[in-house]
Amino acid sequence: MRQSTMAVAVAVAVAIIVAPAYGQTPDEEAWSDTLHAQVTGKAVNVNDATAEQLTYLPGIGQKTADNILYAREQGIRFETVEDLQQVSGIGQKTADKLAPYVTFNGPTTATSKIGSTAKKTTGKKIARPTE
């Protein structure tokens, strides 16, 4: 009985840590992915991470990390993995690889590269203008 009480306490604590800002509740799939990222200690908060931290994610290189930062500069706040598909370099396959490791609030806990890289996608996406 004591272990189950402890498990519930830990689950509640984790839920509080990853609870979204402003009292918004993410959909069930996004909640599951965020919880997995926080529990495994391999989470990257795409709304606050540096370019280097973003490159820890599978399928995200420097150019895509720069595109994510550019989207944030444009006022975009990501709330779901699907939102990331607005960014040039992130398609469905990459988004699927990112899902277990991204979070949209809370700390970035990943300290090194996670997984492998994915193919680049094409289409009309948000990208930093070239100069």
Three-state SS for 103? strand
Residue 71's CB is within 10 A of a number of other CB atoms, namely: 22
Please give the pLDDT value at position 45.
Answer: 96
For the chain, list residues with pLDDT below 50: 1, 7-13, 16-27, 33, 117-119
What are the residue boundaries of the structural domains of the chain, listed by start? 2-103
CATH topology of domain 2-103: DNA polymerase; domain 1 (1.10.150)
Residue of 12, 82, 79, 7 lying closest to 47 (CA atoms): 79
CA 38 to chain centre: 10
Please give the pLDDT value at position 123.
Answer: 58
Read off φ and ψ for residue 10, nearest 5 degrees: -65, -45
Please give the pLDDT value at position 24.
Answer: 43
Please give the pLDDT value at position 130.
Answer: 80
